[in-house]
Amino acid sequence: MNLQDIYSNMTRKRMDDPQKAFSWIRNGARLQYFRWKNFPDKSIPPSMRYLNEIMFKFFRDTMNNPGNSAYVNLFAPTEILHAFGINPMFVESVATFLSGLHLEDILVEEAEKLGISETLCSYHKTFIGAVEKELLPPPAFSVASSIICDANTKTFSHIDEKYGIPGFIVDVPGVCDSYSMDYVMAQLSEMIAFIESTTGKKLDMGKLSEIIKIENETKKNMAKYMEIVSKKNFVNHVTLEMSKLMLTHSGMGKNETNEYFAKLIRDMDEYISDEAIRIFWIHIMPYFDKTIREYFNYNRKYFLIGMDLNYYDMTPLNEEKPLESIAYKMLNNIYNGDFSKRVNRFEELIEILKPDGVINFLQWGCKQTIGGAGLVKEMAVRNGIPYLAFDGDGGDRRNNPKGQVKTRLEAFFEIIKERKAILK
């Protein structure tokens, strides 16, 4: 049993005492941040050490100061929160952090006691369970968007009511036209007024323009990384690939996010791996799966290029019109509206990144991803790319068919090897 397992067991023993359990959860983030900042693992690339550091810094900051934090979901317009100096508490990443402490079974069962369906996304059930058990302190407010996930609005309405905090939901139409732009921009203006009223702070529009400028610089670095990685292989780690969601979503516009991708580019010259099987991943990853970790964690033979959710949008924003740019970004989000938008972006990423194969993970409870799997497969076949889809649960380790994953991955990689041999 490693140190993390011991810490997880100690935290589980305190789950009946919310204050003690939260102390252990918060201290876990503090200790991990202290460790990666002061005693990083020097056997891994500097960019990955830095990613570990800032990931736990974001957790620490929100847990240390919940009164200056807000619950948000994956596609909330967090640039506005950064301009206010408010820390976003990204609920899906909080759920993943709790799952990393092996608490998700207790929390999922707590949520299901309320009558919540088994088929609801396990990330949301884990978070709802944590709220119900009062493991997490209430933030100042919440902000969510209606993009991608059917559970978003209901989850946030529930936690707002439970904690007695104000909340704001941005409703994003599925098409981008002049009416929709006016509609979303009006909501963003209302959101700003809501935050000002709730916190007593005033938004500095110049600061928001600075946030947009940093986001644009970050996207340039991301595009540079993609250009390099299309020709060279690198090592990766499934947990860190998932951790990037904190940067590429709720962390967009922060200096730390831009610095991470700058470090990643610098690492490419020193940490290039040898010939490898290159895999592009669609949707989230069951980071705790032993087989997936064995294949992709710092393995020089199997290169996890990345997953779509981290590279879905590289379009620069207009720094002089920040609200209009954020509205445009939300309306044109590939996960908003017709599923064909996703498929088109996946095809673009495959053309840029040149993977040897595509893996599509069908997350339990994510009806959109499961329903669109056939379209993704058609796209892969059309592009001559080996394709594998398998279902499981990225948030609840109890729902993953371990033996099947190993068997199917082994067979898939053999197909890729045979194909590469023919193409040589």
Cα three-residue angle 230-236-237, rounded to 5 degrees: 150
Measuring CA to CA, which residue among 180, 209, 222, 218 is closest to residue 330? 180
Number of alpha carbons in the 13 Å side-chain half-sphere of residue 149: 26
Regions of the chain short of the pLDDT cut 70: 1, 402
Summarised one tens digit per residue, pLDDT across range 189-231 is 999 999 999 999 999 999 999 999 999 999 999 999 999 999 8
Number of alpha carbons in the 13 Å side-chain half-sphere of residue 224: 16
Measuring CA to CA, which residue among 164, 160, 161, 163 is closest to residue 142? 160
Query: What pLDDT is stored for residue 1 in this prediction?
Result: 61
Alpha carbons 302 and 11: distance in angstroms, whole number: 34
Measuring CA to CA, which residue among 378, 375, 404, 381 is closest to residue 391? 404
- CB of 46 within 8 A of CB of 269? no
Query: What pLDDT is stored for residue 364 in this prediction?
Result: 81
pTM for this structure?
A: 0.94
Query: What pLDDT is stored for residue 394 in this prediction?
Result: 87
- What is the average pLDDT score of the chain? 92
Cβ neighbourhood burial of 241 (10 Å; 0-12, 13-18, 19+): buried
Query: What pLDDT is stored for residue 422 in this prediction?
Result: 84
CB atoms within 10 A of CB 300: 14
Q: State the virtual CA torsion across 110, 115, 120, 124 in degrees, nearest 10.
A: -40
Place of tokens 């690339």: 45
Measuring CA to CA, which residue among 64, 119, 117, 63 is closest to residue 94? 63
